[in-house]
Amino acid sequence: MAYSIEYFHARVKNEIESWPHGILADFARRVELLMEFGPNLHIPYARALGGGLFELRPHGREGIGRASYCFVVGQCIVILHGFVKKSQEIPERELQIARKRMKEVQNA
C-alpha cells in the first residue's frame, strides 16, 4: 500500500519547488521511493534524525537539499521543511523548525 505525501504548508512546497533543477529532480525521485517504501527507506535516500523526524537527502550538480518529514496516522507522510545545504552539518535552526512543525502536526 502506497503512502501519501502532504506538505506542512504551501510555503514549504513552494520553497522546495524553487530549488535548483537537479536537486528538485532528485527530490522527486526520492519522494516516489518514499511513497513506495515509507519507513523502510534508508540511507542514501533518507535518514532518521531521531524522535520520529526523518530527512530526504536529494542532491544534484548544484548542491544538496534536505527535506524533513514525519509519519502521521495512516499511510500519510508530512513534508515539514526543506532547504538547500550550505555545509556538512544540518544547521540547528533548520532542525528546530522541523521539530516544531512536527509537534504541531502530531498535536493537531
| CATH at 42 | 3.30.2310.20
Tell me the three-class secondary structure of the chain, residue by residue. Answer: CCCEEEECCHHHHHHHHCCCHHHHHHHHHHHHHHHHHHHHCCCCCEEEEECCEEEECCEECCEEEEEEEEEECCCEEEEEEEEEECCCCCCHHHHHHHHHHHHHHHCC
Band of pLDDT at residue 90, cut at 50, 70 and 90:
confident
- How far apart are alpha carbons 83 and 108 in whole angstroms? 24
- Residue 91 pairs with which residues in a beta bridge? none
Q: How confident is the model at residue 94 (pLDDT cuts 50, 70, 90)?
A: very high
Query: How would residue 89 be classed by pLDDT, with cut points 50, 70 and 90?
Result: confident
Structurally, the chain folds into a number of domains equal to 1
The pLDDT of residue 39 is 93
The parent domain of residue 44 ranges over 4-106
